[in-house]
Structure 1
Amino acid sequence: MPIIRHRAPLQCLVAVRGHPFDRTAFDAVFQAMDGISATMVDQPAAARLMNPDGMRGFDVLVLYDMPGLDFEAPENAPLYLEPDDSLKAGFRALLEQGTGVVALHHALAGWPTWAEYHEWLGGQFLYHPGEVRGQAVADSGYAHDVTHDIAVTPGHPVTAGLPATFTLTDELYLGQVFEDDVTPLLRSSAAFDRDHFWSADLAVKGQMHCRDGWDHPAGSNLIGWAKQTLNSRLVYLQPGDGPSAYDSPHYRQLVENAIRWVAPQ
């Protein structure tokens, strides 16, 4: 039986739930990190900890959650839910005090009505057509089990120790990426256009793997970035849908590097 260490020098609170995932395989990503301890907390309980008091004793917040969406609503599922004022204030306070954040994969879809949250993250995945930065946009696209090459931007601590390129088989998103506000870290060789993705809105309406009538413009191939968010460092990594990514030593290195870089210095 492996030894689980809870007194590591670097403590992470990992918010999960809202999207199906292999919990054991995902947890193994963190268990392999020397000197880092991860405590997984499910939403909605995790939201109650996203404030300076709740995060006391934790160095980094890792988002692998997808809150603010009710997939069981009788109409227009997923129904968008509003974050409460205490969560919004608490999360801002975390960023103002310099708590580092690493957001992974589907976290980009969380809290769809909270525009400031997505400005902080650097992008957004939408399940329904909507508005982003004052412009009408189509619902986002998804593509499962895409084998693609990832080009690594050298010279950043988050990409340290990685090869110039590596290959993953993973889910990709065609969504909103605020490239002008981030530092690029990873670019995919995949084609980010309508013909290579499926409509998220059609999928939740029961039409999986469909793009009929869906008109989404070509999007960014940027799938990993770093940014300054208020007084905190933040990294978003789009890879991470399942074990094919979790088990990659390059993915594990990325996540570990990201945690170490965003941790308060």
Structure 2
Amino acid sequence: MVIRYDAPLNVLVSTKGHPFDTPAFFGMFDAMRGMTWTHVEQPATAALMSPEGASDFDALLFYDVPGLQFKTPKPPDLIAPTEAFKSGFRGLLDAGKPMIFLHHAIAGWPLWDDYAEAIGARFFYQPGRYKGRDHPDSGYVFPVEFTLTPEGDHPVTKGLEGGFTLTDELYLIEMLEDGIVPLLRADYAFHQDNFYSAANALEARMWTRDGWTHGPGTDLIAWAKISGNAPTVTILCGNDAKTYGDDNFRRLLRNAIDWVTSDAAAEWARSG
């Protein structure tokens, strides 16, 4: 791929920590006109997580799962971010650096509450704590067909006003923070009878829910949030090649990139 130094928009795309169809995923970004993108894998991403390190990028898109070392059939080792990373990431939010968190990125840095606060939710691969409260492991189900319906009128859902259908993965999670702007909801019943235990899956017991209890989860699939002084968008779908190639999903993701990097989003975040 040609390096586009003259592109009006440059997005850093961070991956690693969870398997995915790499040709289909990166092909999605190759098809986006009027922008360029740079792929960086964890843990190298961490070296760029500061206002200085990320200065060449207009937005940061996370499709990674840092802070966990999977050891199936045993529970994962949980790794805390360094103090340098914490300081740099907070500095990015304070500086208003736009961010997008995609699909499994909501599981990142499980030992650091500030990361979940920036996103607005967390996927727990095993039971954990957030701000002194115990949470069960989260739920997953795939492939499942569902319809996404926009809530309100927002630039991120422009052109998707009639809703659209995907076959993708869904999560059973709770919202952790107030102050989000709902963007898309799914017409699916988010209760534990329709999902499977993430902790069981890591013990090589996929597609089971025995011994697992989880309360009702959110039907929100996408939302916007002010994190520090930064506009952020979280999109929970994005599991496989079928979704990467879906025209509506591509529109959603490109809309999110265009919006978080807009003057309007920056002004919104500063005024929050």
TM-score (norm 2): 0.93
Pairing of 1:96-135 with structure 2 (within 5 A) = 96-135=94-133
C-alpha contact (below 8 Å) 1:154/1:164 kept by paired residues: no
Unmatched tracts of structure 2, length 5 or more: 264-272
Which residue is equivalent to 2:35?
36
1:78 and 1:40 map into 2 onto residues whose CA distance is: 26
Pairing of 1:136-147 with structure 2 (within 5 A) = 136-147=134-145
- Are residues 6 and 252 of structure 1, via their aligned partners in 2, closer, same or farther at CA, if it must alter by over 3 Å? farther
2:168 and 2:123 map into 1 onto residues whose CA distance is: 16
Q: Is 1:14 paired with 2:45?
A: no
CA shift for structure 1 position 76: 4.5
Identity %, equivalent residues: 45
1:15 and 1:36 map into 2 onto residues whose CA distance is: 16
1:223 and 1:70 map into 2 onto residues whose CA distance is: 26
Which residue is equivalent to 1:153?
151
Partner letter of residue 183 of structure 1? Answer: V
Aligned residues: 263
C-alpha contact (below 8 Å) 1:4/1:31 kept by paired residues: no
Which residue is equivalent to 1:46?
45
After superposition, what is the alpha-carbon deviation per residue over 1:73-124, rounded to whole angstroms, capped at 9, x for unaligned? 8x85311110000000001111111110011000000000110110110000
- Are residues 224 and 81 of structure 1, via their aligned partners in 2, closer, same or farther at CA, if it must alter by over 3 Å? same
Which residue is equivalent to 1:234?
232
Pairing of 1:154-169 with structure 2 (within 5 A) = 154-169=152-167
CA shift for structure 1 position 181: 2.2
C-alpha contact (below 8 Å) 2:117/2:177 kept by paired residues: no
CA shift for structure 1 position 176: 2.3
After superposition, what is the alpha-carbon deviation per residue over 1:184-208, rounded to whole angstroms, capped at 9, x for unaligned? 0010011111111000001001111
1:246 and 1:6 map into 2 onto residues whose CA distance is: 25
C-alpha contact (below 8 Å) 1:111/1:117 kept by paired residues: yes
CA shift for structure 1 position 162: 1.2
Unmatched tracts of structure 1, length 5 or more: none
| Greater CA drift, 161-170 or 192-201 | 161-170
C-alpha contact (below 8 Å) 2:140/2:198 kept by paired residues: yes
Which residue is equivalent to 2:267?
none
C-alpha contact (below 8 Å) 2:148/2:187 kept by paired residues: yes
C-alpha contact (below 8 Å) 1:153/1:164 kept by paired residues: no
Which residue is equivalent to 1:197?
195
TM-score (norm 1): 0.95
